[in-house]
Structures are given as C-alpha cells and as structure tokens.
Chains A and B, each alone.
Chain A
C-alpha cells in the first residue's frame, strides 16, 4: 500500500515538473507565433526587399514609407562598436580575475563587476543622457552627445558583466594540469595565459562574447534614451542613430491597433528576433563544437 502511494507521488511530481517545463516552452512558442502573426501582414503592403532595404522610415506619412534599413544599420553599428569596447575590457578583466588577482582581490572585484549587471538599464540610459551626452558635447564640440558612440559606450557597460563573468568561469575551469604543464616546460606566466589558458577556454569566451552582444542588440531603454533616434544611415560614429528596439518602443504605444504601422513594428520585431536567434545559435554551436573535453584534447 505505502509502496503504491510512493510510486503515485513520484509519478505526480514527475508530471508536475513536466508540465512546468513545457509551459515555459509553450509560452515562448506562443509569443513567437504571435510575433509572426502580427508582423507578417505588413508584407502585403510592402515587399520584403523594400522593407529590409528601404532607406526611409515614415510610417505615418501619406503615403507611408516602411524602410528599416537605417534601423538595421543602426542596430548593427551600435552593437559592433560596443563589442569593440566591451570585448577587450570584459575578457581582460576575466583573465585578471581568474589568473592574476589574489583571491582576496578577486573576491571583492568579481561581485562588483557582476553588480554592474544589476544596474537597471534605465539608470544607465539616464546616466548616458544627463552626464555622458553633455560631456561629449563640451569636450569634443559635437552638435549632440546623443549619438552612436554614446549608446555604444552605455551598451558596453551593460555587456561587460556578462562577458566578464562567463569568460571568468570558462578560464577558471581550465584544468590546472595544463597550467602546471606549461610552466614546467619553462613558459612564463604570460606565455601560459596567451598560449595555453586562453586557447583552452576559447569556446567559453566566445559564448560569453556572443551572449554579451545579443544582450546589447536587444537592449531597448538605453538606445531609446541615448542613441539620438535619427532614422538615417550614420556617416560617422558621432552621428545620431535609431536602432530597431528604440523605434519599436517609441512608436508602438500609439500605433493604431492592427494598422500598417503596427504590423511594420512587429515585423521589425521579427527582424530583431532573427538577429538574436542567430547570435544564440552561433553561441550554442561554438560552445558545442569547440568544447574542451578533458585535458587530453589540447
């Protein structure tokens, strides 16, 4: 009798957890279906080519123009420039924390870097808007401090914690025998880090970088506040731009429900979704493909 009850409880628990697990996947699936259902109708009005490569975004004009090319370029350039700033900083901080810092220092610095990730994006955006933008204007005599460079800098702040903490875990998990072997062969600590530790943890670092970038490309509040929001193809990194999430956030609230503009914004969401999906697939691919298995494979 008791055995039966225990079996029953076991079964119930198992199905309960199954339901919870499938629920989150199902919700994700439904959001995706919804996204496509609300976005695809725009392609009855405008061809995919004109939507993706059209240079003018005037969704409420008469006749409207639905070209998101400047928005795509803005997203890519903001993410790219922020990667240039965040990757060296993030990875080097990780190397320092995992390899060079004393345990005490690491114990203080690592939580602090991770605390950066806890800063709400609206706070970072506000900082960029009221502190960094006037500073850039005054120092570099730019017409406006709300531009691609400022947005990239703020996004770099946001992706550094992700890049740093995942990279640090990857570097930390490189087997000690590798380091010891390298040092025993007469390599210096510098050579060991560059030639042995980093190559051994490259898959983890790449994953970190890509996850950091996918956070940057999807980030909304910061780019809405500091990127300037001009829907044009930037001529320099000090020009204002309007990345896709900023456009969606600024316009969605008042776009007529199920109107062309509404569909166009959802279609922009689809493009954004494909970008982040692409990033995540790459991250997954790299972490599987180049996984360091044991010590023998190096």
Chain B
C-alpha cells in the first residue's frame, strides 16, 4: 500500500515539474568563454526581473558559438571575434542569416610596478619582452634589472587578445610566469618591482602602474574610438533578426542602465 502511494506521489511530482518547465520560456546561449561572464552576469539579473524566462548558458569557444548559430542549436551565439567569411558562406548555404550584436569591448592594459620609471612601451617592445628577447629593463631605458614577465594561462580570453594583438603569431616564451586570473596578475605585479603583466581595463588599481602603448593611454575613450591597439569588440550573434525573448534579452543587455552597467563590473569596457 505504502509503496503504491509513494509511486503515485512521485508520478504526480514529475508531472508537475514537467508542466512547470514547459510553462517557462527557454533561451539558450553558447560560445566564447570570454563573453561567458557577461552573459552569466546579465542573464542572472534578467531572470530576476523575468522569472518565467529560463536562460541556459554554456561556453565552448567562439567557433562553437558561431557554429551553433549556423546549425540553429542556440538562440544566441557568443563570439570574441567577428564572424569569418567562410562561416558566413556556410551559414547562407544552410539558410541562416547571422546577425551580429556588439555587446562590449575588451581592452588589455600592460602594467608594471608603481616604482618603475617607464611610462610607455611600444607594441614591438612588448612583443620582444614577451618573446624573451628583451631580458633586462635597461635595454628599454629602465634600471639594470631582470624583467619578470607575467602572462596568463593560455586558454583565457585575455591571453587570446594579447596573443593576437601583441604577439602577432609569436609565442610567449616558456620562462614567463603564469597567473590564472586578472586579479592574480595585478597582485603579482604589485608585489614585484621588476614585473610586467597585462590585465583587463576593469582590473587596474592603484597598486599597479598602467603603461601607455605607443603613446596611447588605455581607457574607455581610446578603446571606443579605436586608437588603443590592444582591444577588441565582443559579439553576440543571432540567426536572423531576433524575436521574442531573444530580442528582449539583447535589449536588456544593450541598455545603458541595465545590462551595460554590469559590463564594467566584470572588467570589460561598456559601449557607452
């Protein structure tokens, strides 16, 4: 008897759960791990305001995000780069029309210890330092001290920007120290007179000194007007012009007082 009651209760519970899920509207977001924290942060706030919308977010990289848009397996595909010509062609062949939305900018600023006298490094100097060719600060006009090069783990989006904008196909030499987050790099640079590192604009604090790149100060303004070289826009793609919940979510994300105010908090540059 007891067991039968349990079974009935169980079945009822499952049915209620299924009904509940069916009632909610689902929004799927996939792709770039760089854009992932933006999607997560904004989705959380959005779901709080719209409790009937259920957003599921996963990473997988920019390539996978765009592929998911082409295959139609996601509503929004995140990408830290613009769509490639090959991908556009593939999408049109499959009848999908990818629409890009610029959601934020990523600006990476080289930093040194506050006691360091250098104020400016060119892209070439940064590349030589990170390739291990320039080993001493005196070679670039600093004191006679070994340069301690601090880099990020190779799978991070920050490293990706550095690799494409500064290293330009060169490899960061194996002797570079590795830190696993923007905060850890800032911490390590703050504790070492000889260090050079790079962090997202949002992580700059008084314990480190931001270096200008080829005379350009890394800031929100120089990023948005395109003069700061170590930056890139971040995208979300949809298949065709978005409708329903998707457009609602994107509007929320692009709204200066709603989604965009989270962007700066997690270390990126907002659009406004």
Contacts of A254 in B (CB 8 A): 33, 59, 153, 155-157
Cβ B177 vs Cβ A257 within 8 A: no
CA of A70 to CA of B193, assembled, Å: 27
Name B202-251 residues within 8 Å CB distance of A: none
A213 within 8 A of B: no
A86 within 8 A of B: no
Given A61, A137, A145, A224, which contacts B171 in the complex, CB threshold below 8 Å? A61
B119 within 8 A of A: no
Cβ B191 vs Cβ A230 within 8 A: no
Name A242-279 residues within 8 Å CB distance of B: 242, 246, 249-251, 253-257, 259, 261
CA of A255 to CA of B177, assembled, Å: 19
Contacts of A240 in B (CB 8 A): 175, 177
**Interface-central residue, A134, A144, A232, by most chain B CB under 10 Å:** A144
Cβ B180 vs Cβ A256 within 8 A: no
Cβ B178 vs Cβ A242 within 8 A: yes
B60 within 8 A of A: yes
CA of A17 to CA of B194, assembled, Å: 59
**A231 touching B174 in the complex, CB below 8 Å, given contacts A251-B154, A251-B155, A256-B61:** yes
Cβ A130 vs Cβ B187 within 8 A: yes
Cβ A57 vs Cβ B174 within 8 A: yes
CA of A159 to CA of B43, assembled, Å: 43
Name B87-118 residues within 8 Å CB distance of A: none
Question: Shortest Cβ distance from A133 into chain B, in angstroms?
Answer: 6
Contacts of B187 in A (CB 8 A): 129-130
Given A56, A134, A229, which contacts B191 in the complex, CB threshold below 8 Å? A134
A39 within 8 A of B: no
Name A130-157 residues within 8 Å CB distance of B: 130, 133-134, 137, 143-146
CA of A134 to CA of B177, assembled, Å: 15
B148 within 8 A of A: yes
Question: Shortest Cβ distance from B54 into chain A, in angstroms?
Answer: 21
Contacts of B180 in A (CB 8 A): 224, 249-250
Q: Give the interface residue-count category, chain A.
A: 35 or more
B192 within 8 A of A: yes
Map CB proximity to B onto A26-67 as digits: 1 under 8 Å, 0 otherwise.
Answer: 000000000000000000000000000000111111000000
A225 within 8 A of B: yes
Closest-by-CB residue of B relative to A61 is B171
CA of A59 to CA of B155, assembled, Å: 8
Cβ A56 vs Cβ B174 within 8 A: yes
Question: Shortest Cβ distance from B77 into chain A, in angstroms?
Answer: 14
B40 within 8 A of A: no
Q: Is the interface of A mostly helix, strand, loop or mixed?
A: loop
CA of A59 to CA of B195, assembled, Å: 25
A228 within 8 A of B: yes
Given B60, B147, B159, B191, which contacts A129 in the complex, CB threshold below 8 Å? B191
Cβ B194 vs Cβ A143 within 8 A: yes
Map CB proximity to B onto A189-214 as digits: 1 under 8 Å, 0 otherwise.
Answer: 00000000000000000000000000
CA of A167 to CA of B12, assembled, Å: 58
Cβ B146 vs Cβ A261 within 8 A: no
Cβ B178 vs Cβ A137 within 8 A: no
CA of A169 to CA of B192, assembled, Å: 43
Contacts of A134 in B (CB 8 A): 191-192
**Interface-central residue, B64, B154, B157, B187, by most chain A CB under 10 Å:** B154
Cβ B191 vs Cβ A256 within 8 A: no
Map CB proximity to A onto B27-42 as digits: 1 under 8 Å, 0 otherwise.
Answer: 0000001000000000
Contacts of B125 in A (CB 8 A): none
CA of A152 to CA of B177, assembled, Å: 17
Which residues on B are within 8 Å of A, measured CB to CB? 33, 59-61, 64, 145-148, 153-157, 159-160, 171, 174-180, 184, 187-188, 191-195
19 extra interchain contacts, Cβ-Cβ under 8 A, other than A129-B187, A256-B64? A59-B154, A60-B154, A60-B159, A61-B154, A134-B191, A137-B191, A137-B192, A144-B192, A144-B195, A228-B178, A230-B177, A230-B178, A232-B174, A254-B153, A254-B155, A254-B157, A256-B59, A259-B61, A261-B155
A selection of 9 A-B contacts at a CB cut-off of 8 Å is: A59-B154, A60-B160, A133-B192, A144-B177, A144-B192, A250-B178, A253-B155, A256-B60, A257-B59
10 interchain residue pairs of minimum CB distance: A229-B178, A232-B174, A250-B153, A254-B155, A250-B180, A143-B146, A60-B154, A254-B33, A144-B148, A256-B61
Which residues on A are within 8 Å of B, measured CB to CB? 56-61, 70, 129-130, 133-134, 137, 143-146, 224-225, 228-232, 240, 242, 246, 249-251, 253-257, 259, 261
